[in-house]
Amino acid sequence: MLLLLSISLCFTGVFTGKVLYYDHLLAERKPAQKPLLHLVLISEELDNPYWREIEKGAQRAAAEEGIALEYLGPVQADKREQIRIIDKAIASKVDGILTQGLNDKEFNPIIAEAVKQGIPVITIDSDAPSSGRIAYVGTDNYAAGYLAGTTLVQQSKGVGKVGIVTGSFTSTNQQQRVKGFMDAIDGESGIRVVQIEESNINRIQSEVSAFKIMNQHPEIDTFLGTSSLDGLGIAQMLKGKDQQARIIAFDDLPETLEFIEEGIIDASIVQQPYMMGRKSVELMVDYLAGKKIVTIFNTDANVVRKEEISRGKGDFGP
């Protein structure tokens, strides 16, 4: 009997202790705080180094603003999958969506649905001005392509046979870069574009496309790669070969800079992906706070060559 009484008292003490402990926690609990904003950044391709740099900038801004940022995207560039992820984000009732603008008949309706649900959208890297997005953050892609063209004119002294490897025939930003390049060389009778191939934003495919161009046009002396992975694929194709060609690339991925230092890539048009990510979050937070924001924020693009790297110039990171 005494044993049962002792056990009973022990359980009573433990239970009482737990009640007091939880009461103590409840007493210290602060009033309910306003929920964090939840933004989602949807990339063109999840592990593409360029988009990972955009993510870094976005995550840095999100941390400073005290909000939650989720990073999503297709494993490989796929417009249908990207749209499906946007649709899923809308269904999840996120507070804002940051994504690449698409030149796709299904993109505008899905953005219209986001707006209808009260979810603002900011496009990054590539714009879709008629989609209902509230702002665009990224390079002026036509101007960047034009810069690539003037760079070629300067380096070639107005003479060259050019092969272009572009990330996508249907992506607005890639189209604008090619258009800018073509306009820049338009007055140069000695420069001629002989073939354009697509890489689907894939390094291996860009290498295959460059090989195809070189095989069909052995006279090629210049390549332009309009996405961050195209220049790498072209450089890999030419590396170690007797036949060489000038390469103008895009972006400053670490391997791109190595190829420039080795003299395989002659120049690269460097964008500001980190700033794109950072600024897009800042604009979205301001918009959700009721502030007026700019509808177009163009980040800089500049030319990086071996001499710029040697002098420590250019923007090679955050």
Q: Where are the domains of the chain?
A: 38-139+273-300, 141-271+306-310
Q: How many H-runs (helices) and E-runs (strands) does the chain carry?
A: 11, 12
Quick check: pTM over 0.95?
A: no
How many C-beta atoms surround the C-beta of residue 139 within 10 A? 26
The superfamily in CATH containing domain 141-271+306-310 is Response regulator (3.40.50.2300)
Is residue 222 within 8 A of residue 243, CB to CB? The reply is no
- φ/ψ of 156, rounded to 5, equals -95, -5
Is residue 34 within 8 A of residue 250, CB to CB? The reply is no
38-139+273-300 to CATH, choices 3.40.50.300, 3.40.50.1260, 3.40.50.2300, 3.90.550.10 = 3.40.50.2300
What is the residue-level pLDDT of the chain in tens, covering all 318 positions? 433 434 444 434 443 343 333 344 334 444 455 568 999 999 999 999 999 999 999 999 999 999 999 999 999 989 999 999 999 999 999 999 999 999 878 899 999 999 999 999 999 999 999 999 999 999 999 999 999 999 999 999 999 999 999 999 999 999 999 999 999 999 999 999 999 999 999 999 999 999 999 999 999 999 999 999 999 999 999 987 877 899 999 999 999 999 999 999 999 999 999 999 999 999 999 999 999 999 999 999 999 999 988 876 544 444
d(CA 139, CA 296): 10
Is residue 145 within 8 A of residue 184, CB to CB? The reply is yes
Is residue 252 within 8 A of residue 313, CB to CB? The reply is no
Q: Is 15 exposed, middle or buried (0-12, 13-18, 19+ CB in 10 A)?
A: exposed
Examine domains 38-139+273-300 and 141-271+306-310 and report if their fold is the same: yes
d(CA 123, CA 137): 6
